[in-house]
Amino acid sequence: MLYFNLISFFLIICGALVLGLQTPDIAASARVYPLVLMALVLLFSLLIVVKEIADRAATAPLDSRIAEILSAPPPFRIRLFGFVAIWLVYSWLLTLAGFIVATTCAISLSLWLLGIRKVLVGIVTAALFSMVLSILLATVLFIPTPLGPLDKLLIESIYAMQH
Amino acid sequence: MLEGLYAAMSPTNLFVEILGVLIGIVFGAIPGLTATLGIALFVPVTFLMNPGAGMIMLAGIYAGAIFGGSISAILINVPGTPASIITGWEGYALAREGKAPLALSLAALSSGVGGLFSAVALLFLTPMLSSLALTFGPAEYCALLLFSFTIVTVVLDTPMMRNLLGCFVGLLLVTIGLDPVTGAARFTFGNADLMSGFNLIAVLVGFFCMTEAVFLAFDSLDDSTNNEVISFGKGNSIGELIKTLWTHGITYLRSSTIGLFLGILPAVGPVETPFIAHTIERKFNPKDEKFGKGSITGLIASECSISANVGGSLMPLISLGIPGSGAAAVFIGALTLHGLQPGPLLFKSEPVLIYTFFWGFIAVNLFMMLFGMFGARYFALVLKLPKRVLATFIAVFSILGSYAINNSMFDVGVMFGATVLALWFRALRIPILPIVLAVILGPLLEQQALVLFTTSAGIGEVLGRPIADGFFAISLIIIVFSIVRRLKESRAKPG
Amino acid sequence: MRERLVMAMRFSAVVGSCLLASALVSQPVNAEPAKPANYPNRPINFLVAYPSGGGMDITARTLAAQMERVTGYQFRVENRGGGGGIIGNTYMATQAKPDGYTVGILANPTMFMNILYQGAHFTKEDIEPIAGITFEPVIWATRTGSEFGKMDFKQILDYAKNNPEKLKMGVIPNASFDIATRIVAKQTDAKFTIVPFPGGKPAIVALLGSNIDISAIYFSEIAQYVKDGSLKALAVADNKPLIEDPQLPTMKALNIKMASSTWGADRFAAVPKGTSKEIKEYLSYLIEKTLADKATHEAFKKVGIEIEPKTMEEQQKTFAESYGEVHAYLKDTGQLKASQ
């Protein structure tokens, strides 16, 4: 795990340097504070790197939860990756397909991927949840959601009913 | 004052008190939905009521949400609001030992005690204590912030260098955005979204909620293990709870006072308060081995201080018109929309209304305490849900919660980024806590340091301020002690 | 009554073009433009580029409530805060659909500063003002109990000239507060120590707590402290008297050259470029009708805002003039973003 640590601290150093490259654009008075922080980040990253290399034998193992995930059988890791991917795609789909459709799809898929036995129940729950939540958001909480065709229809019919 | 008491006990007001607390608890318990958002969303609803009832309802949501956040923190290790992060440490550890009912009702009791403590102070001491808010200048803030960073980096058992690195990385991350001197873009790579910096709530939801959803999802994959998060454990007697009032009386008192004091300060809200109260309490209980891993004292300290902070933040709000936290700022907006300008004149022009509100705030805290203590078993129904369902819905709410802060997809991206950072740093064994504190307090530190350097004539002027000196001195003592302790420890185990 | 007639005439002047007979224009009739077909068939959102609780949010929420009362349609407030307004303004200019369901309740010169100074990725043409709501100029205030509480603005400026950098002045960086203060300083040779604050409230706390001597601020934010005697207003950064306190010296009275109705908060309603003319005129009419209503004035007064309605044409004129002033100031001081 030494290499993982070294690469990680190298990346942190790079991150600080990339920010450092932008400092000439900043007004002098607003530059001092971040520059001091950058120097401190560099200093401590280097110190830790030196220490890690020095007591190479004593390098502690990875965090136990993370190690558990990394040592899990491949199908588990693929499904976990799938879970994360669903929610990343969901955020992107939300603006395209609208709230109701995207949320229903994402919840159903996620439940299926994590191994729910009654898939149909999952889909119905997901659809009901998205509908109820979207009505609640539109009529009580007034949180605007990304509107797809279905959402627009729902909101317009609520509006027509109120008038 | 009595007139206010009668008004607060009217059926309508009793109804809004209960309603507000219930809405708040539900809102707070859902990850990603914070107290601030809850108040902001229910402001239009209060227009249907008279100003007194409206204010009480919002206060109920505020107090309820702060407690509600602890429910999900204790039961599933997902803090419902950022204020419950510390409660989550202690409470979830207790819950894993099968003491979930104790942790939940104890959280409710200490939350209630802290809330009532601050409510009584609010009722009798507001004009006197609110002036504290003005005695805190840049020197005092800088000293207080230095003190907070010192205790957090020193107290954690992880290697000091990693604690400090985490702290500085966090501070550096929050310099991205508009710089506080000229208002120009800084470190934004020309990206307009980055000009607002990383939203604090989105970052914290990523650190604590989405990260936990990933872990829960992973655990749910293995069908062979028990798919319930934790078993709830047996109930406990109320008597046992009440007993803590004697056995831990000093903890209740100390944490409530700290919470109240930090609440009065305009720049310190419920999110940062438990960090400070918890670490101070740890210093007073050096023998408590379980601190941070399921300590009853730690849980009381955290919950007491948060709730006392809520009441504290209402003091300068009512009497000076200065908000003590983000939620309080929305509160001011709500009052203004009701045609009431919080500030020095409000006390004189609307005394009945103010006292109705103060008594209402006491009632709100009582209801919250009762709901929490007797409702614990119903909250625990959450635990009956399989992990795969929990993981899915925590993910949904983390995304929707981050989106709802500013109606912005960029904040959702920030939330995902924070999740990656949290997992990465966890693998590197860099503790998340110093980063969290740095992200929360960073902007305030830079702002106050800036004001300090532009306005003060020199080091002598700073040292002439006793409150600042006090904090500097305590920080120094803590640093010296911890160096001595670490040296001793390293000598004790050679090699 | 007379006021109403005048307002009605203003409406007709604006919407006259969409009426068939030009003869109607001169008469104070109810000049309601044709209601666009199928509009609105869902709630209309007021977009605010600031988080809830602040001055802009209160303006938008009060307007929304009054619009519902007067028009019977539904209005919602949508907050997209962050980056000193830049996030919400950029969204309004580049992402909001021009379908009449997103109306920005915006503020200048903040938006112009986003474009000209901070380098936001849109231009002033992406936004079309449809009505003016209010203009609130920057003022300067000091603590009544301090040594400056006994001086008038002229004496304070002389003090700052003779004692360079002794006077601590609180401002919000590169907003109207900061710029108006620098314009005054440049013309009078006064030298302040400028202390930046992230908002009005922190500046008030510092002023009340004696950490600064003077603050550039809005009158509405300090009205209650003026009333209870702890703070004192000194001067207004505009050339016409402040409605709330007409005694306050104006820049003209102090012989300081400053653009009129520029340095403050010009709050107005706008739609994204490309919104149909029909909808624009209808919305503009609805807002003007609401703002002309007496009860609306009362409702705004209750939340501490004095409204000064402007028609679409008047607001577009102000918009263009104020843009020119901001551009000129930034160019003179060498702070203009390279691409502008």
Q: Which of C209, C179, C183, C208 is CA-nearest to residue C196?
A: C179
- Per CB-CB distance under 8 Å, the chain C contacts of A95 are none
- Count CB-CB contacts under 10 A for residue A121: 11
Say yes or no: A56 and A81 in one domain: no
Q: For residue C118, is it within any domain?
A: yes
A84/A31 same-domain check: no
Instruction: Say if residue C298 is in the same domain as residue C174.
Output: no
Residue B279 in contact with residue B155, Cβ under 8 Å? yes
- Pair of tokens at residue C4: 């109403």
Provide the pLDDT for residue B418: 96
Q: Are C164 and C220 within one domain?
A: yes
Looking only at the bridges linking them, the beta strands covering B177-178 and C127-143 are unpaired
Residues A51 and A98 reside in one and the same domain: no
CATH number at residue C282: 3.40.190.150
The pLDDT of residue B150 is 87
C48 and C57 Cβ atoms separated by less than 8 Å = yes
Is residue C177 pLDDT above 90, yes or no?
yes
Interface test with A, best of B426, B428, B445, B490 (most A CBs within 10 A): B428
What is the full DSSP assignment across C176-188? HHHHHHHHHHHHH
Q: Do B426 and A63 touch (CB under 8 A)?
A: yes
Q: Give chain B's residues under pLDDT 70.
A: 223-237, 492-495
Range of the domain at B194: 2-492
Q: What ipTM did this prediction achieve?
A: 0.94
**Same structural domain for residues C6 and C109?**
yes
Q: Is C43 in contact with A159 (Cβ distance < 8 A)?
A: yes
Residues listed for chain C: 340
- The dihedral region occupied by B423, where left means phi > 0, alpha psi between -120 and 50, and beta the remainder, is alpha
pLDDT at residue C22 greater than cutoff 90: no
Q: CA of C3, closest CA in chain B: separation in Å? A: 25
Residue C217 lies in a domain: yes
| C-beta atoms of C53 and B185 within 8 A | no
**Based on the domain organization, do A106 and A148 belong to the same domain?**
yes
For residue C168, what is the nearest residue in chain B, using CA coordinates?
B455
In a domain, C220, yes or no: yes
Q: Which chains contact C through at least 3 pairs of Cβ atoms less than 8 Å apart? A: A, B
Quote the CA–CA distance of A13 and A45 in Å, as a whole number.
7
Beta-bridge partners for B178:
B185
What confidence tens digit (pLDDT) does each residue in C29-51 have?
347 888 898 889 999 999 999 88
CA distance B317 to chain C (A): 11
Helix (H/G/I), strand (E/B), else coil: B175 = coil
How many angstroms away from the CA of C95 is the closest CA of chain B?
A: 11
**For residue B195, what are the CA distances in angstroms to B206, C53, C120, C273?**
20, 21, 9, 24
* Separation between Cα atoms, residue C71 and residue C35, nearest integer Å: 12
What is the rounded distance in angstroms from the CA atom of residue B113 to the CA atom of residue B242? 11
Residue A117 covered by a domain: yes
Which chain A residue lies closest to B190 (C-alpha atoms)? A22
Residues A54 and A26 reside in one and the same domain: yes
Q: C3, C63, C136, C106: which is closest to C296 by C-alpha?
A: C63
A81 shares its domain with A130: yes
Q: How many CB atoms lie within 10 A of CB A73?
A: 9
pLDDT of residue B227: 57
Backbone angles phi, psi at C103, to 5 degrees: -115, 120
Q: Tell me if C110 sits within 8 A of B182, measured CB to CB.
A: no
Distance between C200 CA and the closest CA of chain A, angstroms:
20
Interatomic CA distance for residues B256 and B265, integer angstroms: 15
Would the CB atoms of C42 and A162 count as touching at under 8 Å? no
Q: Do residues A56 and A111 both lie within one domain?
A: no
The two structure tokens encoding residue A143? 């949180």
Tell me the chain A residues in contact with residue C43 when contact means C-beta distances shorter than 8 Å.
Answer: 155, 159
Say how many domains are in chain B: 1
Tell how strand C231-236 and strand C44-48 pair up. Answer: unpaired
Q: Considering only the beta carbons, identify the residue of A19, A26, A84 that sits closest to B179.
A: A26
Flag whether A43 is in a domain.
yes
Judged on CB neighbours under 10 Å (0-12, 13-18, 19+), B339 is middle
Choose from A25, A135, A142 for mutation: most chain C CBs within 10 A.
A142
Number of Cβ within 10 Å of residue B45's Cβ equals 17
Residue pair B336/B288 in contact by the 8 Å Cβ criterion:
no
Bond prior to C40 in cis (omega within 30° of 0): yes
Chain B residues lying within 8 Å of C209, measured CB to CB: 133-137
Q: B267 to chain C: nearest residue by CA?
A: C202
Task: Determine whether the interchain pair A155/C43 forms a contact, defined as Cβ–Cβ distance below 8 Å.
Answer: yes
Q: How much is the pLDDT for A61? A: 66
End-to-end CA distance of chain B: 67
The percentage of residues in chain A with a pLDDT greater than 70, rounded to a whole number, is 96
Question: How far apart are the CA of B450 and the nearest CA of chain C, in angstroms?
Answer: 8
The packing angle between helices B273-284 and B85-94, to 10°, is: 50
pLDDT digits (tens, 9 = 90+) for A64-96: 788 888 888 898 999 999 999 999 999 999 988
What average pLDDT does chain C have? 88
Neighboring chain C residues of A159 at a CB cutoff of 8 Å: 41-43, 74
Pair (C8, C131) in one structural domain:
yes
Domain count, chain A: 2
Chain C residues touching B331 at Cβ < 8 A = 53
Reply yes or no on whether the pLDDT at A14 is more than 60.
yes
From B135, B406, B454, residue closest to C209, measured CB to CB: B135
Cα separation, C177 vs C56, in Å, equals 16
User: Quick check: is A65 in a domain?
Assistant: no
Check A38 against B172: CB less than 8 A apart.
yes
Enter the DSSP assignment of C197: -
- Asked whether residue C131 falls in the same domain as residue C156, the answer is no
CA C25 to chain B, closest CA, distance in angstroms equals: 38
Contacts of A34 in chain B (CB under 8 A): 172, 175, 186-187
Residues C126 and C19 in one domain: yes
Beta bridge partners of C137: C264
Provide the CATH number for the domain around residue C183: 3.40.190.10
Residue A68 lies in a domain: no
Residue A41 C-alpha, separation from nearest chain C C-alpha, in angstroms: 26
Residues A49 and A86 in one domain: no
Cα gap B111→C27, rounded to integer Å:
66
Cross-chain Cβ contact B399/A91 below 8 Å: yes
Closest to B135 (Cα-Cα) out of C211, C239, C92, A143: C211
Which domain, by its residues, includes A84? 73-162
Q: What does the pLDDT read at residue B493?
A: 58
Note whether B416 contacts A88, CB cutoff 8 Å.
yes
Query: Which residues in B lie closer than 8 A to residue A16 (C-beta atoms)?
Result: 172
Give chain C's domain count: 2
Do C31 and C118 fall into the same domain? Answer: yes
Query: C14: pLDDT confidence band, cut at 50, 70 and 90?
Result: very low
Instruction: Please tell me the distance from the alpha carbon of residue C285 to that of residue C290, in angstroms, as a whole number.
Output: 9
Residues of B in contact with A53 (CB under 8 A): none
Kindly determine whether residue A30 and residue B399, on different chains, have CB atoms separated by under 8 Å. no
**Three-class DSSP labels, B176-213:** CEECCCCCCEECCCCCCHHHHCCCHHHHHHHHHHHHHH
Q: For chains B and C, what is the number of CB pairs under 8 angstroms? A: 153
Residue A93 and residue A53 in one domain: no
Task: Write down the mean pLDDT value for chain A.
Answer: 89
Residues C132 and C11 in one domain: yes
Q: C275, C128 in Cβ contact below 8 A?
A: yes
- Asked which of A46-60, A88-102, B46-60, C259-273 is least confident by mean pLDDT, the reply is A46-60
Domain that holds residue C116: 2-136+262-332
Residues 6+ apart with CB under 8 A from A58: none
**DSSP 8-state code for residue C141:** E
Distance to chain A for B357, nearest Cα, Å: 24
Q: Same domain for A48 and A84?
A: no
pLDDT category of residue C258 using cuts at 50, 70 and 90 = very high
State the Cα angle at A128 between A124 and A133, rounded to 5°: 150
Domain match, A93 and A23 both? no
Q: Nearest residue on chain C to A141, judged by CA atoms?
A: C76
Query: What's the CA gap between A46 and B3, in Å, rounded?
Result: 66
Tell me: do A103 and A131 sit in the same domain.
yes
Give me the pLDDT at residue B461, please: 79
DSSP structural state of residue B131: T
